[in-house]
Amino acid sequence: MTKITLAKGLNAGLRAAMEADPKVLIMGEDVGKLGGVFRITDGLQKDFGEDRVIDTPLAESGILGTAVGLAMRGYRPVCEIQFDGFVYPAYDQIVSQVAKIHFRSQGKVPMPIVIRIPFGGGIGAVEHHSESPEAQFAHTPGLKVVTCSNPVDGYWMIQQAIACDDPVVFLEPKRQYHADKAELDESREPEPLFGSRVVRQGSDLTLLAYGPMVKTCMQSAEAAAGEGRSIEVIDLRSLSPLDMDPVLASVRKTGRAVVTHEAHVNLGMGSEVAARITEECFYALEAPVLRVGGFDTPYPPSRIEEEWLPDLDRVLDAVDRSFAY
């Protein structure tokens, strides 16, 4: 077993996928010689050549449009969007073409495209570099949307996404790229791509998170334990489809739930999760399902981003409010 960061896990996962299938291509701005802004594709162009790791022009719509044509010809393109806020020029291609061609062709034309998007804040960057657009893609039928929160998931999930015949929006929490290390055991069976997972057992309240907020929620659960509260933490991992079975089982046990994400609270993923919990677990709930997220403003200047991002204190405040009912 080796200890890896999320960045190394994604790099190794991409390498494994390219070794396993010569039809896997990587496309994006500066993904080749530079190895990507966050060095996720470091060394891949040197080993696989410029025909398979392609430095593209700064034209996100062109990247995704080209990927559609490649997918139609049997390739499996992996498109890197350099920063989350840069995806919007490609939004038309993603929701109008990528998401619909498989359905439009009655299943005859698969779209095995992976769209890698570094997302979220916490790196001292400005707007267009620190956004959380996941709900916009999860709301689009025909797209799968997943996000990893740790190095081991990053290694396995990117390979599973590339092997999927449906288009996958693959969200990577950029502040976790080089933050923590975890042991990778390649002999272990990976978790299903579209499944959520309990990452901390508890009995008093269910805390739901994905991507960058999983670490924050784990820290919150640890702090709550010091006050005698047993918090169960679930990493949702897949946002479309949502795997609600572990969530519902947990809420029926604890009777309380708090959903967290960095994105704005208004119409965020927490709204859908809270609605489903309320529909399925109404009689088990001891309190309303609460949501914690970013404020309903554009992403702020970097000097005040820590005031904007949901943190341990805001999560614990929601936990306290849940127990106040």
Measure the CA–CA gap between 40 and 11, rounded to whole angstroms.
5
List the Cα angle 152/156/159 in 5-degree steps.
150
| Torsion region of 219: left, alpha or beta (phi above 0 gives left; psi -120 to 50 gives alpha) | alpha
- Strands across the sheet with 257-264, in order? 197-200, 231-235, 205-209, 257-264, 290-294
Is residue 49 within 8 Å of 24, Cβ to Cβ? Answer: no
CA-based nearest residue to 256, from 231, 223, 225: 231
Is residue 5 within 8 Å of 177, Cβ to Cβ? Answer: yes
Question: What would you report as the CA-atom Rg of the chain, rounded to the nearest whole angstrom?
Answer: 19
Q: Where are the alpha helices (DSSP H) in 28-109?
A: 44-48, 60-72, 91-93, 101-104
CA-based nearest residue to 99, from 48, 50, 168, 154: 168
Residue whose token pair is 């929620």: 217
Measure the CA–CA gap between 251 and 300, rounded to whole angstroms.
34
Structure tokens at 260: 């967290």
Is residue 298 within 8 Å of 127, Cβ to Cβ? Answer: yes
- State which amino acid sits at residue 21: D
Judge whether 102 counts as a catalytic residue: no
List the Cα angle 153/154/155 in 5-degree steps.
90
Measure the CA–CA gap between 283 and 295, rounded to whole angstroms.
31
Among residues 102, 129, 261, 264, the one annotated as catalytic is: 129
Going from the C-alpha of 247 to that of each of 6, 58, 244, 274, the distances in angstroms are 25, 40, 5, 10
| Catalytic center residues | 129
